[in-house]
Structure 1
Amino acid sequence: MNLFIQIFINGILQGGFYIIIALGLTLTWGILNIPNLTHGTFIILGGYITWYLYNKFHIDPLLNLPIVVSVMFILGYVLQRGLINLVIKAPKFNTLLLTFGLNILITNIIQLIFSTKSHIINPIYANKSIIFGHFLFPEIKLIAFFMGIFLAIGMWFFLLHTKLGCSIRATPQNLIIARFCGINPRHLYAITFAISTGISGIAGAFYGMIFQINPYIGPMLTTKSFIISSIGGLNNPINIIFGAILLGIVESLTTLYIGPTFTDLFSFGILVLILSFRPNGLMGKAT
């Protein structure tokens, strides 16, 4: 019984980390309706930047988060404003092709700069756990869990209760009225994409402290983000909390009772099952 509870706890904490991974994609896909295939590679790039700052300049990974977010924010703004905005009104297939090409380009740049070796960001607290009763709570996963909850609630408040957030939600719904209200859609799209990319940088920092990073795992993270976003529903960032925690629990229980080889199978299985009965996601509005 204790083993089951421990695995369940691990799943919840893993889900908290998954919140950070999926949150950026939810912003671009759910709000801007841009299927961003570079999302996972942005996460890995954020991880490499964090690893470099930690190993080269000995800056604690949590303390260098503002630097990582700033670098990723600028990169996201430049890519969206200068490149992706060119096909923003084109069919979605064009956006998919463009972001697919960007994904390959960025992956090769990462490989060129950092090589193909796997790296892990290993501060002291990454290997420590808090013992509560008979159960272990890894410190880094606890931090990631609370960071994920904080970011999801913060994004919800930002989108619903700030002028910029309301503009971000309103502009894709009616571009003409947005222009009449004095909103610059190109700038707004770029800001939104940049925020998403900045959050991906945070996800990369935590990924590098929990797992090993290498240039080729970006597509896997993009896929997992799509699963979480689809399960939770795209109409509210809070929904990502439920989708991420559910996926974390399912993966942990699958690993315990069936084996780690089948975690992806069950992840896609639960996605198909939920979307068969709830096309807008588990927490989305029923149709």
Structure 2
Amino acid sequence: MVLLQVLLNGLLLGGIYACIGAGFSLVWGVVNIINILHGSFIVLGGYGAWYAYAHWGVHPFIAMLPIGLLGYAGGWLLQQYVIRHVMAAKVLVTLTLTFGLNLLLNNLMTFGFSADFRKVVLPSQEPITWAALTLPADRTLSMLAAVAVVMLTHVLMTRTMLGRSIVAVRMDPQAAQLMGVDVPRTFAATFGIGTGLALIAGAILSPIFPISPVAADGYLGKAFIVCVLGGLGSLPGVLAGGVLLGVVESVGSYFLGSSHALTLSYVLLLAFLLLRPQGLMGKKGFE
């Protein structure tokens, strides 16, 4: 029964990890940019949810909707007027640009909110119990919200004209352009969606984890691992990769101690890079 509780804890954590990695995977898979800003965007979304709750009493799960829309607008503008000019350059150039922008955003958040940890403190809720199993109410609700966001994004990708355009550009930008797809605007929309998803993830995480600019690198690392495990650009793969990472960390922490959770994450990353670099649901050789 104890092991089952550990597995359930891993599933809760995995759903949250999937939301962390969704926007990162989308931008990397479609725009072909490793967005170093992603972790700071998540922290920024957390600050937005904290501010909305502390000053206006708006619940983070409600605040995440306007926060996500603002993130989309900001990401669209950033890609259209800044990142677009270096997309044809070598990967080192885009890495350097997003790294520099990340330093700027991180320092702006430190200046505006200080480096002190903040947290959205919601009214206490009774844990969900079933038989001998116990699920924290806050983590359960956050996991459900995170999975819902990932699945709704998947529906957007598969059932709308914008989503089909994004998938077409991901598969072959030149062929998509010949079919009438506005590739530059599709790139901007994809980056906007990825940014919006990152800010929404921050809002979802705000009742669970403390918010501080120093947490940005940790979120970026988790997003990178989830993308590799699930398969680049695949939202169902992101969900599978997040669950796998959450379960491995939870079970490994139970047997080896929580201090080894990060080590297990990177061991799993290396194993996939060596044995299955396309991830759980990616296509081998696809770029």
Q: TM-score range by the shorter chain?
A: over 0.9
Residue equivalent to 1:116: 115
- Could you tell me how far apart the structure 2 residues matched to 1:161 and 1:206 are? 25
In the other structure, the counterpart of 1:86 is: 85
Report the CA distance shift for 1:21/1:235 in structure 2 as closer, same or farther (over 3 A): closer
Deviation at 1:174, TM superposition (A): 3.6
207, 211, 214: which one aligns with 2:212: 214
Q: Deviation of residue 286 (structure 1)? A: 4.8
Give the corresponding residue for 1:77: 76
Cα distance, 1:172 vs structure 2 = 4.4
For 1:208-254, what per-residue CA distance to the aligned partner results, in whole angstroms no more than 9, with x for missing partners?
Answer: 21110101111111111110110111252101111111111111122
CA distance in 2, matches of 1:235, 1:106: 25
How far is 1:276 from its partner?
1.6
2:60 corresponding residue in structure 1: 61
Give 1:265's aligned residue: 263
SS in 2 for 1:64: helix
Deviates more, 1:6-15 or 1:69-78: 69-78
Q: 1:282 aligns with which of 280, 283, 286?
A: 280
State the AA in 2 paired with 1:158.
L
Query: Counterpart amino acid of 1:277?
Result: L
1:165 to 163, 166, 174: 163
Mark the CA change 1:4 to 1:204 in structure 2 (over 3 Å): closer, same or farther. Answer: same
What is the aligned-residue identity percentage?
Answer: 33
Check if 1:49 corresponds to 2:48: yes
CA drift of 1:149 comes to 2.6
- The aligned amino acid for 1:84 is I
Report the TM-score when normalising by structure 1.
0.94
After the TM superposition, which parts of structure 1 deviate over 4 Å for at least 4 consecutive aligned residues? none
Q: 1:137 to 1:113 in 2, by over 3 A?
A: same
Partner SS state of residue 131, structure 1: strand
Q: Which residue of 2 is the match for residue 156 of structure 1?
A: 154
Query: Partners in 1 of 2:256 and 2:175 — Cα distance?
Result: 53
Show the counterpart of 2:104.
105
The 1:78/1:164 distance shift into structure 2, 3 A limit, reads same
The separation in 1 between residues aligned to 2:195 and 2:33, in whole angstroms, is 13
Q: Once structures 1 and 2 are overlaid, which stretch shifts more, 175-184 or 209-218? A: 175-184
For residue 20 of structure 2, what is the amino acid of its counterpart? I
Q: CA deviation at 1:162?
A: 2.0
Unaligned runs of 5+ in 2: none
Matched letter for residue 230 of structure 2? G
Separation in structure 1 between the aligned mates of residue 116 and residue 217 of structure 2, nearest angstrom: 17
Number of aligned positions between the proteins: 285
Query: In 2, distance between residues paired with 1:215 and 1:88?
Result: 27
**Partner Cα separation in structure 1 for residue 103 and residue 176 of structure 2:** 34
Q: Give the distance between the partners of 2:111 and 2:158, measured in 1 at CA.
A: 41
DSSP 3-state at the match of 1:280: coil
2:3 is matched with: 4
Quote the RMSD (CA, aligned, Å).
Answer: 1.6
CA deviations on 1:92-120 (whole Å, 9 max, x unpaired) are 11110010001100001101111111001
**What CA distance in whole angstroms lies between the structure 2 residues aligned with 1:119 and 1:235?**
32
Residue 31 of structure 2 corresponds to which residue in structure 1?
A: 32
1:158-211 per-residue CA deviation (whole Å, 9 max, x = no partner) reads 223321111112224443443343333222111111111111111101222111
Q: What letter matches 1:275 in structure 2?
A: L
Q: Offset at 1:284?
A: 2.5
Q: TM-score, normalised by structure 2?
A: 0.94
Q: C-alpha deviations, 1:61-93, integer Å up to 9, x for none?
A: 112122211221121111111111111111111
Tell me which residue corresponds to 2:14.
Answer: 15
Greater mean deviation of Cα atoms: 218-227 or 173-182: 173-182
> For 2:283, what is the secondary structure of its paired residue?
coil
3-state SS of 1:33 partner: coil
Over 3 Å counting, the alpha-carbon distance change for 1:100 and 1:235 in structure 2 is closer
- For residues 206 and 153 of structure 2, the distance between their equivalents in structure 1, rounded to whole angstroms, comes to 23
